[in-house]
Structure 1
Amino acid sequence: MRCFAFFILSSLAAFSPPAAHAQAPVVGLAAPLTDSFALLGQQMRDGARLAAQAGGAQIVEADTQCSTEGGEAAARALIEQNVPVVVGFLCTDAIEAALPLFAEAGIPVITPGVRTATLTDQRERTGWPVFRTAPRADAERDAVADILLPRWRENFFAIVDDGTIYGRELAENLRATAELQELKPVFVDTFRPQLDNQIGLAGRLKRSGATHVFVGGDRSDIAILSRDAGGMDYDLVIAGGEALRAEESAIPLAEGTLMVGLPRWADIATDSAGKALEEAGIIPDGYVLPAFAATELAIAALRTGSGPVADALESGTFQTALGPYSFDRKGDLEQPLYRLFRFDGQTFQEVE
């Protein structure tokens, strides 16, 4: 069995509960703390530790190593420490190995990192006590349809994709959802990606009469399409998915480009969370704020004092650094995470 290590923060004065209060709640943290995923695991650790400090709680840590063996070892370590709730996990293999053990021990798990849809889809069959604060793997494609169709139903819109699995799934789901709502795009096509120009695609879109187009593709192709449409004096509203958050492309992205994507967590975090991170000298990258919010959630559920922690998570709504959290019957967040943004020439700004 792989070695594991845990770390209890009660030895640090800042993490100790005030003497006048009841015993501090304890939260387990399961994260990859070694090997190739250690950087992401450290982000989780930073967020969880800081939330515990702010909430007067203690953290017990275990290394999942992002593997089946590591996930099982981490679960056994945390169960031996009698933790009542666990936050963490980034990798599907690790959490799927750990959950049967946590289920047997009656310990719920809150994951801000695992997106695999089947993790919660099979909850009724497995009985796994898992609650997901991360978006599901299929959340983006559903959000594209849910956000764009109500706004575009009176417009002549088109749907194109670059033929990749990612692009085609977004485009096909949008088209299928539109049909269910008795909406029909004026143009549907698959284009060849990574070309120096998309003049042909821009021409076909213009001839179709489309005023709006959703592009299932990457930032570079969308930037090129915008440029080429502009060269034809073609006023075209272009939207894409969260791939638009990728690094800058050689061709600048056009002002007004729409994106259905996740917010930057630092942009929506509460002032108190932002101040705590700043004072601790922690940059809110990656999983820092999702782990912070998930740990806040765990602490709040522990403090309800109204029965099993899992019951509190299933029935309550809890305020966190990233907004209110409550869960559906499968353990997925009820609050939508994806939003609509417009590029202002420098950054993406949320559209009200």
Structure 2
Amino acid sequence: MQGKRNRCAAIAVAGLLALGAALPALAQTQEVKLGFAAPLSGTQASDGKDMENGVRLAIDQVNASKPVIGGQPVKFVLDAADDKGDPRRAVLVAQRLVDDDIQGMLGHLNAETTILASRIYAAAGIPEIAMTTAPAYTEQGFSSTFRMQTTDTQQGSVLGRFVVKHLGIKRIAIVDDQTAYGRALADEFEKAAKGAGARIVRRDALNRKASDFRAMLGHIKRERVNAIFYGGAEAPAALLVKQMRELGIGAPLIAGEALKSDSFLQIAGKAANGTIASTAGMPLDRMPGGADFERRYRKRFGAAPGIYAPYAYDGTMAMINAMKRANSTAPARFLPALAATRMPGVTARTIAYDAHGNLKYGTITVYKAVGGRWQMLNTAVER
């Protein structure tokens, strides 16, 4: 009897030891590192942080669901970097993130930083979903580049046609800040406006380091323009519109999403009234998942989301969902699944990419500054 008890005890101990050995393997969680970069300091810090918050909200949601990929529990972690909106720094940031063994990249925000950094991610075979709207980003021939927002081609064309056909603007001067973003947006606006019957009476380059644009504006004033289109970043725009009003130019300033911000309205003051700006996408309250996203964002960060957060959220979910469908976190394995993405999102009923990595179903909304607030002129236009 004693021998039987000893044998049973030995079997029980062996079973417990085997279970103990198995538990660490079962409980071991693989960390999947996602890279992120945007301006987190300087004049665009609020935009970069808003974008980062959208990424973090998506990662938090996925991690809370205890995901399993390739039969192993995984936890997504964010490797975030500040590129300061500087192309040279963006290249260094990109190489550092690649050296950190990221599995996917979310960012950058600006056109030039994104385009230069994308070459490093592409060479390393790392899929990237970026915020930039510059057409050149997805025209480089890489299979690894995807977008969170619509392109300048879509935005510039819709805005060019809209101001001519719906607002009756016929004589237009164009100014761009010589960045990739500014030039691309201005080029597309010019083509669309001309095609709709407008006359482009001048095109000037704006020096981003200058603070006095009166000489250039004096030449424009003599052309008796109905509007000035500005392609570029927000920083010089408030000064530009203030000096327009000082010189008696009552024509509206027209621009892309860079100007559609509360900070532009605050800095420009009364001079901003009449400014027309377009944004990629639609207002948060009109997005398919906008109300729920805003509720969750406020709960997590204690403030309302900005322009970029919902798009960053959708981009992050697209990348993680591609890993789930491919049942792999290896970039080469989930890249084809990312290219084949078709899923509902916060910003659109269907998130899907064309052969170049551009969004198939982009939207544009046009706003006008009235009494210190942005007033929607036109509902989102599907392309």
Q: Is the 8 A contact 1:262 1:338 kept in 2?
A: yes
CA distances 1:106-153 after superposition (whole Å, capped 9, x unpaired): x533233x5564442122xx4x422121455xx1x6523333325524
Shift of 1:160: 1.0
Partner of 1:61: 78
Partner of 1:50: 57
Partner of 2:35: 30
Q: Which amino acid aligns with 2:338?
A: L
Q: Which amino acid aligns with 2:340?
A: S
CA distances 1:207-252 after superposition (whole Å, capped 9, x unpaired): xxx6x4243373444455468366xxxxx66533445343534551
Query: How many angstroms apart in 2 are the aligned matches of 1:177 and 1:129?
Result: 30
CA distances 1:270-307 after superposition (whole Å, capped 9, x unpaired): 22221112212354357544332222222333344599
Q: Against the structure 1 CA distance between its residues 62 and 170, is the aligned structure 2 distance closer, same or farther, given a 3 Å change threshold?
A: closer
Are 1:290 and 2:305 counterparts?
A: no
Q: Is the 8 A contact 1:159 1:171 kept in 2?
A: no
Q: Against the structure 1 CA distance between its residues 328 and 35, is the aligned structure 2 distance closer, same or farther, given a 3 Å change threshold?
A: closer
Query: How many angstroms apart in 2 are the aligned matches of 1:34 and 1:147?
Result: 27
Q: Against the structure 1 CA distance between its residues 290 and 191, is the aligned structure 2 distance closer, same or farther, given a 3 Å change threshold?
A: closer
Sequence identity, in percent?
17
Partner of 2:259: 244
CA distances 1:148-167 after superposition (whole Å, capped 9, x unpaired): 32552483511113475367
State how many pairs are aligned.
Answer: 304
Partner of 2:189: 174
Q: Is the 8 A contact 2:57 2:297 kept in 1?
A: yes
Q: Against the structure 1 CA distance between its residues 71 and 257, is the aligned structure 2 distance closer, same or farther, given a 3 Å change threshold?
A: closer
Farther-moved stretch of structure 1 (213-222 vs 317-326)? 213-222
Q: Against the structure 1 CA distance between its residues 43 and 26, is the aligned structure 2 distance closer, same or farther, given a 3 Å change threshold?
A: farther
Q: Which of 330, 334, 339 is matched with 1:314 structurally?
A: 339
Q: Which of 113, 117, 121 is matched with 2:139 structurally?
A: 121
Are 1:157 and 2:170 counterparts?
A: yes
Partner of 1:325: 351
Structure 1, unmatched stretches of 5+, are: 1-22, 231-235
Q: Normalising by the residue count of structure 2, what TM-score does the alignment of the two structures yield?
A: 0.61
Q: Normalising by the residue count of structure 1, what TM-score does the alignment of the two structures yield?
A: 0.65
- SS of 1:329's partner is coil
RMSD (Å), alpha carbons: 4.4
Q: Is the 8 A contact 1:260 1:339 kept in 2?
A: yes
**1:1-352, aligned counterparts within 5 Å?**
28-32=33-37, 45-55=52-62, 56=65, 57=67, 58-62=75-79, 66=83, 67-78=90-101, 83=103, 85-89=104-108, 91-92=113-114, 93-101=116-124, 103=125, 108-112=127-131, 114=132, 117-123=135-141, 126=142, 128-134=143-149, 136=151, 139=152, 143-150=155-162, 152-153=164-165, 155=168, 157-162=170-175, 164-165=177-178, 173-179=188-194, 181=195, 183-185=197-199, 187-188=201-202, 194-195=213-214, 204-205=223-224, 212-216=226-230, 218-222=237-241, 225=244, 228=248, 239-245=254-260, 246=264, 248-249=266-267, 252-253=270-271, 255-262=273-280, 268=287, 270-283=290-303, 284-285=305-306, 288-304=309-325, 309-323=334-348, 324-336=350-362, 338-350=364-376, 351-352=378-379
Larger Cα-atom Rg: 2
Farther-moved stretch of structure 1 (282-291 vs 29-38)? 29-38
Structure showing the higher strand proportion among its residues: 2
CA distances 1:51-74 after superposition (whole Å, capped 9, x unpaired): 123232531333556454543342
